[in-house]
Structure 1
Amino acid sequence: MTADRIVTSDDSRLRAVAAYGLSPDVMQGDLEPLNRLASTLFGVPTSMVSVVAEHQTFFASRVGISVCEVDRRISFCHSTITQDEPLVILDASKDPNFHDNPLVTGPAHVRFYAGAPLIGPSGAAIGSFCLLDTSPREAFTSADVANLKLVATLALDKLEMRRLARAEQASDNRFRQMAGTSPAGIICADHEGIIRFWNQGAEAMLGFSAVEAEGQPIDFIVPHRFRGGHAGGLRHVGAGGTPKLVGQSVELSALCKDGSELPIELALSMWRDEGTASFGAIIRDLSGRRANEERLDRLAHRDHLTDLPNRLVLRQRLDAIVRAQHEAVLLVLDLDGFKQVNDTLGHSAGDRLLQDVAKRLVSVTGPLDMVARLGGDEFAIILLEGEADRRGDFVAERLIQALSVPFTVDGLAFNLSASVGVAFYPSHARQADDLLSAADLALYSAKNEGRQCYRLYSPGLRQAALQQHALAGELRRAYENGEFRLFYQPQVDGAGRLMGAEALLRWEHPDRGLQSPAAFLPFLEKSSLAVEVGQWVLQAACAQAAIWRQDAPSFRMGINLFGLQLHTGDLAAEVRTVLKQTGLPATALELEVTENIILQQNDLALQMLRTLHADGVSIAFDDFGTGYASLSLLKRYPLSRLKIDQSFVRNIGQSREDAAIVRSIVHMARAFGLGVIAEGVETLEQQERLLAKGCDELQGYLLGRPMPATSFASRFGLVDRPVGEIAA
């Protein structure tokens, strides 16, 4: 919360502003590096040091903006100078005080503003150090506010140096009156370089009292290795020569009384009384400022958690490699299994694990290589030395091996693995962005091919990515244009009676006709569209089941869930709403989930399934026996029945192993009180063997292929009203 400043007189404030002698761009050289640092640190295109004058607000320094002044009445800084704390506006178009401001509604299109007031020693606000962006922000954290105030302090230091230098140049008497109480160190010397004035600020800074310093040559405060040139330069100017440093600020080291050296900023001025030169120097301790600048530089270029170079530094190194045309290898690495640590122990434990990961990555690479954190659990490594192709493979294998050793966090052991994408410069790409893209594509390939492996980039990966991008657009249009259809495959009991159906999604492409599920389902289930399509399937299939139950009161509808439906939103509430809208009883609905989907979910998903199961909704475990954790999941999840995967059914008559697996699944289901249905039944022999082993129901081509609702209704004598084929 900010405290408003009480400004009793704008005239007194304007007099304080005038003391700095500021005008548009007058301090561009001094303050531009600070503006550029702020632009990088806060990720904004525009950074400025503003001065609020009588009628306009102008910019003493600026980056990212072409104009040098605006009308004071519409400037954001006009509001900033009325308070002590920074003014932050995340979205100006929604702010009641600024939504109709011409800077917001006009060509400038300002959406985000953050400004810290620049308050001089007199208490008057000169202007602000401000940030602008044409995009709104979701947040500007307390850490961001603290960093903005720190940058503003550095800018105010520069302004104060200018004010003091101007005041010093006005007259020697005024200079001495002001210098006596100034917190800055102020020294005066005559034309021979002998110190004639030494204020309390200089004493506090360097340790020498005025008695010890006055009468000494100016070299008195210069470290021994630099002495010799300073006094000679002063005598040269005193004799009428042209001054080299007068009017400038320079950074150098000063010798303290205790023998230590202090980094200072020195502004030198000169005046003549009756033809004799005199000199004044304003010195300021830079140790605190340098520490702050180093901290800001680290914030802008280092990852705060692992202290590795960040994405910005990685990109700068890649740009340098491209300019030098130096062969290099880029590896992009993503952790597999990291989510389990965050879910189990919390984010603080996850942070400690990432720090351990960073140390292992650095230990595997060489002294000339760069390891950077891109964000989250993703890292990048640049290799420069050695034969590029061969070393890239070798390091990728070592990275995977190093991260496969268990990590210990809070006394618990965690097994992680890593997927790595590898791309070579210049053979795979000749620009930094293209090289990053190539390594990312190789990483996605590694994750899709089983994880805990590395893959090299190939042009085919980019072509596949383009095809997937095109498919994403087609699927969105298919949903919006109502091209999705529902087909239904019957499920029957041992006596051949219809018990229900599984709703299966199909795509009726306007040009290519009915698409195979393999052509689009694997991509759809990973896309954000899965939630919308899944909701439509639930609505349409339940409505269809409610119609068919008019002729088949015990009819049950099976619906496959996408993983994202369990990960986002409230599935339990959505199902309850659909059942109420369609009039379908909860006991007539069966939701099918695969083991792979379950393994990716959290406790919230488990709770939603338990809620639905308690309502009477059946939960079926699809493709049972093909995953990794079936037995443990049977204990934890609220299941109603198991679906035996068709891979075990296919060779049940020829393979003793498959027959034994089917028999074991049936016995296991009985022990857990679960029903059993076998998929992929295509022959009478398979049907007989499955029934003999105790399967409750069957599903497969022998009993009926997936078919449109009209065909399904006709075959089984049901009400012919095909809800499942309506447009989305």
Structure 2
Amino acid sequence: MPQSREDKRVAALDRTGLLSARSDETFRSLVGVAADAFGVPIATISLIDADRQLYFEKVGITVASSERCTSFCTRTIEGDGLAVILDAAQDPLWRDNPMVTGAPYIRFYAGVPLRIEGQAVGTFCLIDTAPRAAFSEAERLRLARYAGIALEMLEMRARHANRDSARMRFRHMAETSPDAMIVYDDAEGGILHWNDSAERLFGHDAAAALRLGVADLTAGPDTRAPWFDDAPAAIREAEIRLSDGAIRAVEISLSRWREGGETIRGAILRDASQRREREAALHALAHRDALTGLANRALLRLRLEAMLADGPVTALAVDLDGFKEVNDTVGHAAGDEVLREAAVRLLACVRGSDVVARIGGDEFVIALPGCGDPLRGADVAARIVATMAAPFPLQERSVRIGASVGLALAPAQAGGIDELLACADLALYKAKADGRRRHRLYTPSLREAVSDRQRFMHEFPRALEQEEFVLHYQPQLRLRDGALVGAEALIRWRHPEHGLLQPAAFLPALLASRHAVAVDDWVLRTACRQAAAWLPRTGPLFRMGVNACATRLHSGEIAGVATAILAETGLGAENLEIEITETVVLTREGATISALHALRGIGIGIAFDDFGTGYASLSLLDEVPVTRLKIDRSFVRKMNDAPEVPVIRAVLQLAKGFGLDVVAEGIETEDQLRRLRLKGCAEGQGYLFSPPVESEAFAARFLPETRPAT
């Protein structure tokens, strides 16, 4: 008798091995982040057995399983896609369900089936005790993305649970698997068995396959790779050659076992094109403003870098006039509508090759590649001013705002990204000062600030030679008892004419100069030497935080430089922490990622600075060997006005899931300190404890005369 649909589904679940597998912090982090993202108290990853709904991971409920007959998820796996119930108490199918009338008192439900081997073995779902009026298309897409991540994690866990299965089990799985599966010998790579999916993938029938070896399937000169790769990575990516000669990228998961005194190998192959498309989509999300869909600051800089390398560029800084009044009088929801409509109007004013970016609340930047003509840039600016002057419809009313625009040209007026944007900003300020709702071109009369920057360029060699740069140190304390755990080194310039300059006054010019590497090396060496001198009084666990040199990172040289400086100063690698920002690593340049792994490999900590201000993702944390997250001061400051700051809670949960430490920046009040303690944040820094101070003041206040007990 043929298997029923339900029997096939349960059999597929059993073959995964997930019923006996355990969850971990990664799954807990995923459901926790999902619950926060959708504002629901309950989120689960469930497996649906013949009789029970088993909660593989959950947040908001304590039971391990429930009866399948009352489960909302049972209905979800019977459908083809997303299931949504806005108010179960009003739904004739669900209003008498014991899970609606009793605990957990379900009112809203949204679930996505999780399919393995083509069978719905479980669900990813959201549950709320309050009904909802709607569940938008955007929310549906977001939930589907979370479910996709959960499915990939479950599939990886399933492959891990079954990697040591015997050959017969491998063959049995191959009978029904949608993935290409191959069994081959360890000595010569001769193919012993492959399934129908492998036949469809490669184009060779089973009989022809038995006359081949895995070397015949390989694209590239190394015919043993990746089939005999014994590296610990669970999934490899490779290129295979099909029967018609075409090349295709696949993911390969390998296993190996002993049978009859011989070593047998197995490979599961999956077309990588869909995953690459998903990665491309996620990368696009990481570079897009969530509200308007425009490019964000990170993508703007990437595009400007490419444009400046190709030829002239005109940058337009755009600021909405009167936008604050919209937020104050009509509300933030209406303000968001205005921003979305403003984005549409800006796109209508430019060409398809131009870049429109939102870089702040009501701040936009437009980049015109190949444009070195101020008249052409002025035409675009005039169109923007005109289109923004038209009323913005808001439901039953409309509002009038406007726009001011500043223009700057490169290379005529600026040589790099920061200088170009700074010049456009100066022109924007001039437009506002002249009465708003107009545009202005950057001119030499606005050049005082830029002149200072250019003058600094010529003074950096003298500043290095005369030792005018100094380091100030801000303590990092353990929040539960105020114990010193580390310090962050911050550069200052003791200028002979202008006095002590903060980084904002000279750092953009320094980073754009050829002296940046020399100054950054000096900072690292000085901070390490100071930390080594303090260690007898701080104890062995003290760490010194130093901001990463982007140039050294991108070139891959930072690990070698850091190793040499540690040897020179006598500081241990475990006492040094390199701080990176999202902008440095979002491009995932090979040399940068390799350099970070090299730093971690010698024991140096990696702190992710200003975390939460951009689009950092789970995949980024998985790829970069981060040891600590730093909560940005902007989120700590929000604690003054809000009873809850979801980003802080999410970062703490995410850090726990990834096994990372957390430092909160910008702590200024006792109330912030108390609330961060209650949330479980272990460490912090800020003006409540001390501003950055010189080494002598730091030692006098925070270092005991005798070494603390360890």
- The TM-score with structure 1 as length reference comes to 0.40
- The TM-score with structure 2 as length reference comes to 0.41
Larger RCO (alpha carbons 8 Å, 6+ apart): 2
Q: Which has the larger radius of gyration?
A: 1
